[in-house]
Structure 1
Amino acid sequence: MSDLLVIAFDDEASGFELRAELVKLQAEYLIKLEDAVVVTRPEANDIQLHQTLNLTAAGALGGTFWGTFVGLLFLNPLVGAAVGAGSGALAGYLSDYGINDDFMREIGNKVTPGGSAVFLLVREMTGDKVLDRISDFHKGGRVIQTSLSKEDEDKLRAALAGSQAPLVPENAASSETA
């Protein structure tokens, strides 16, 4: 099961910087992200979603490949590629992978104008190492919503506040009493 995290900032740049850092952490196999979207609110009534994956382009690319392949079978690869690209782009545009766009827009209304929010759908993470790395983002970062346990959410809040709570292994308490 994946966990949802929403972290807001008073400026747009911090949201993009956090997402870039998390992408680096993913390359280091410290976190597995299903989705990472930065929502910005340049003006009071304007909410923009900055997706990490352009599904329309991905669909067009896949559709072009399969359309060309099918077109080769029927001796008309150009028509097959065109039809495949069009249908793939449409399918990519209509699909909503990851975090629901309407949900992000609804929460995005809580972001101050000129600010941003990072929406993360996390499959797995090495908590202590990830918290160490994101503790540099305590420049006004605040947790808006998570699906984490209360204890893990408190650790995230502490890391964003710049005073990371120590992570005690679950069986450490039992070894102290022995």
Structure 2
Amino acid sequence: MADLVVVAFDRPDMADQVLHQLTAMSKEQLIELEDACVVIRPPEGEIQLKQMVPLTKMGALSGGSSGALWGALVGLLFLNPLAGAVVGGGIGAATGALAGQLSDYGIDDDFIRRLGSTIKPDSSALFLLIRKVTGDKVLQRLREQGVHGHVLQTSLSNEQEAALKKALSDASTEQAASGAATAI
């Protein structure tokens, strides 16, 4: 079962940066993400969503390839497999894109929009659906990289949520201390 973690950041570009760091950590098998979404709330206007899994594109690709295969097979019956593949691929891509657009994978989009609209203007939030994580190593890396955020919501246990909050607040405390030291 996957765990949901939602963290808000004070800068509009920070959620993207953290997702990039987590993606790099996933290549080292430290974290396995099922889904992720970056929400950016500009100073004015509507919130912007950046989904990790582009469902429309995935649907078009899978629909196009299966449509081309079926079109070629039907085209063989009429002795024109190339035309069948082209027509079948086009129809498959269109229906696959429509199916991808209508399906909702991972984190519910309405939930993302509702919670994303509560963050302050000129900030961002990162919605993560985590399948597997080596928590101590991931939190240590985020702390070392100075990631500071506010936990909005999780499905973690109380102990895990407390560790996450501590890691995110430790980073801000270290940044404030180093900023004060350089100011002196």
Residue 12 of structure 1 aligns to a residue whose secondary structure is coil
For the pair 1:28 / 2:28, whether they are aligned, the reply is yes
Shift of 1:45: 4.5
Look up the SS of the partner of 1:102 in the other structure: helix
Distance in 2 between residues matched to 1:39 and 1:160, nearest whole Å = 19
Deviation at 1:82, TM superposition (A): 0.7
Distance 2:70 2:96 in 1: 14
User: Residues 39-78 of structure 1: matches in 2 within 5 Å?
Assistant: 39-75=39-75, 76-78=84-86
Structure 1 contact 56–93 (Cα < 8 Å) conserved? yes
Provide the C-alpha distance between the structure 2 equivalents of 1:45 and 1:103, rounded to a whole number of angstroms.
Answer: 19
Alignment TM-score, normalising by the size of structure 1: 0.87
Instruction: Kindly provide the CA deviation profile for residues 88-118 of structure 1, in whole angstroms up to 9, marking residues without a partner as x.
Output: 1001111110100000111111111111000
Q: Does residue 118 in structure 1 map to residue 151 in structure 2?
A: no
SS at the partner of 1:74?
A: helix
Percent identical pairs in the alignment equals: 48
Q: Is the 8 A contact 1:38 1:117 kept in 2?
A: yes
Structure 2 runs not aligned, ≥5 long: 76-83, 172-184
Which residue of 85, 98, 102 maps to 2:110? 102
CA contact under 8 A between 2:18 and 2:147: conserved in structure 1? Answer: no
Could you tell me which residue of structure 2 aligns to residue 138 of structure 1? 147
- Is there any run of 5+ residues in structure 1 with no aligned partner, and where? 164-178
SS in 2 for 1:32: strand
For the Cα contact (< 8 Å) 1:138–1:162, is it kept in 2?
Answer: no
CA distance in structure 2 between the aligned counterparts of 1:77 and 1:137, rounded to whole angstroms = 52
Would the aligned equivalents of 2:43 and 2:121 in 1 still touch at CA under 8 Å? yes
CA distances 1:44-66 after superposition (whole Å, capped 9, x unpaired):
54111101121101111111100
Query: Which residue type is aligned with residue 88 of structure 2?
Result: G
RMSD: 1.4
Q: Distance in 2 between matches of 1:98 and 1:85?
A: 22
Deviation at 1:11, TM superposition (A): 1.1
Provide runs of 4+ in structure 1 moved above 2 Å.
136-139
Aligned residues: 163
Distance in 2 (alpha carbons) for counterparts of 1:23 and 1:113: 26
The whole-number CA distance in structure 1 between the counterparts of 2:154 and 2:6 is 6
Structure in which a larger fraction of residues adopt helix:
2
| TM-score scaled by length of structure 2 | 0.85
